[in-house]
């Protein structure tokens, strides 16, 4: 099985780079702001599977740079999907809970109506729509709250802030599933392997760690595992102003992934333990 992986330095990409028969292409070769160059790469690849782990992820900055976000997360993804579909190469793409409006308290199902509330979410939905329109073999894997030992993420931010602050104010009314990047990489690998074996199922799937948590409770677990006595003040989203609107409900129903691929939701606390062992 030969895999063409777009991305080298992102949290998930780093976990896929060192797997066998993976050709990982970084920004120096594949600049997602230039779709035409990406098209040529896909046209010439001899890969059996294409995985996209590239994304514009600066959620607040996307409110100003929405055109750039739309190109990276939307236009270029769509062009990859078109060429991959013509060549009948399965295309696996990572998307986000931000395609939903974030209301309510029920876990979002894969076929629930999308209605993103910020520019980042809208750019991710453009990419999803492009993949669906291309009508080739694909999997769109929506996930949330990604963390790892690499890059910028909530775990590393909490450790940094805790080093200088005995008390932190953290949002407690946003709820979702923290997800270890290694678990996402393992899931993509399983899906890719199934497609290579002729058993892949095209569709949109959800994948997050369990159980669901608020950001405040996620932080509390970080400090519990690192044995730090940090006082956490619970605050509301409305009291923590950001340029981009954040969803209150990021819960994702992952049942169809288990049904079609036999993939269970992992315990995120176990992933967190692995990450903290690497960081501390």
Query: What is the CATH number assigned to the segment(s) 3-152+178-209+249-266?
Result: 3.40.50.720
C-alpha distances (whole Å) from 118 to each of 80, 172, 177, 246, 262 are: 24, 20, 20, 8, 33
CB-count exposure of residue 173 (10 Å: 0-12, 13-18, 19+): middle
Maximal C-alpha separation, the chain: 56
Domain coordinates in residue numbering, the chain: 3-152+178-209+249-266
Give the pLDDT of residue 280: 83
**Long-range contacts of residues 149-153, Cβ cutoff 8 Å, at least 24 apart:** 149/275, 149/278, 149/279, 150/9, 150/11, 150/14, 150/181, 151/9, 151/10, 151/11, 151/14, 153/11
Q: Is the peptide bond before 202 cis (omega within 30 degrees of 0)?
A: no
Give the pLDDT of residue 262: 98
Give the pLDDT of residue 46: 98
End-to-end alpha carbon distance in the chain:
36
The dihedral formed by the CA atoms of 17, 19, 20 and 25, expressed in degrees to the nearest 10: -10
Give the pLDDT of residue 209: 98
Please tell me the total number of residues recorded for the chain in this structure. Answer: 280
What is the separation of C-alpha 38 from the centre of its chain, rounded to a whole number of angstroms? Answer: 21
Q: What is the DSSP letter of 245?
A: P
User: What residues have CB less than 8 Å from 211, skipping those under 6 apart?
Assistant: 177
Contact predicate 143/268, CB 8 Å = no
Active site residues: 120
pLDDT tens for each residue of the chain, 280 residues long: 999 999 999 999 999 998 999 999 999 999 999 999 999 999 999 999 999 999 999 999 999 999 999 999 999 999 999 999 999 999 999 999 999 999 999 999 999 999 999 999 999 999 999 999 999 999 999 999 999 999 999 999 999 999 999 999 999 999 999 999 999 999 999 999 999 999 999 999 999 999 999 999 999 999 999 999 999 999 999 999 999 999 999 999 999 999 999 999 999 999 999 999 999 8
Name the pTM for this structure.
Answer: 0.98
Contact predicate 56/76, CB 8 Å = no
Kind of pairing between the strands at 231-235 and 167-171: parallel
């Amino acid at each position: 099985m030969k895999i063409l992986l777009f991305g080298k330095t992102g949290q998930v990409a780093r976990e896929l780079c060192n797997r066998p028969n993976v050709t990982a292409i970084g920004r120096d070769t594949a600049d997602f702001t230039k779709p035409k160059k990406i098209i040529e790469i896909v046209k010439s690849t001899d890969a059996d599977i294409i995985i996209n782990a590239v994304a514009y992820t600066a959620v607040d900055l996307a409110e100003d740079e929405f055109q750039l976000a739309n190109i990276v997360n939307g236009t270029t993804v769509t062009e990859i999907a078109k060429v991959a579909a013509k060549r009948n190469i399965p295309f696996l793409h990572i998307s986000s809970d931000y395609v939903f409006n974030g209301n309510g308290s029920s876990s979002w199902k894969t076929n629930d109506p999308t209605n993103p509330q910020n520019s980042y979410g809208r750019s991710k939905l453009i990419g999803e729509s492009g993949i669906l329109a291309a009508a080739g073999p694909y999997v769109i894997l929506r996930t949330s709250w990604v963390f790892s030992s690499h890059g910028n993420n909530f775990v590393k931010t909490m450790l940094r802030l805790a080093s200088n602050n005995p008390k932190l104010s953290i949002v407690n009314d946003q709820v979702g599933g923290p997800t270890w990047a290694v678990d996402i990489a393992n899931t993509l690998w399983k899906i890719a392997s199934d497609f290579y074996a002729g058993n892949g199922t095209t569709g949109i799937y959800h994948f997050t760690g369990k159980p669901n948590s608020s950001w405040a409770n996620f932080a509390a677990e970080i400090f519990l595992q690192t044995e730090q006595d940090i006082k956490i003040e619970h605050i509301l989203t409305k009291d923590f102003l950001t340029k981009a609107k954040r969803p209150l409900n990021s819960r994702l129903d992952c049942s169809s992934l288990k049904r079609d691929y036999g993939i269970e939701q992992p315990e995120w606390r176990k992933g967190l333990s692995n990450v903290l062992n690497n960081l501390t």
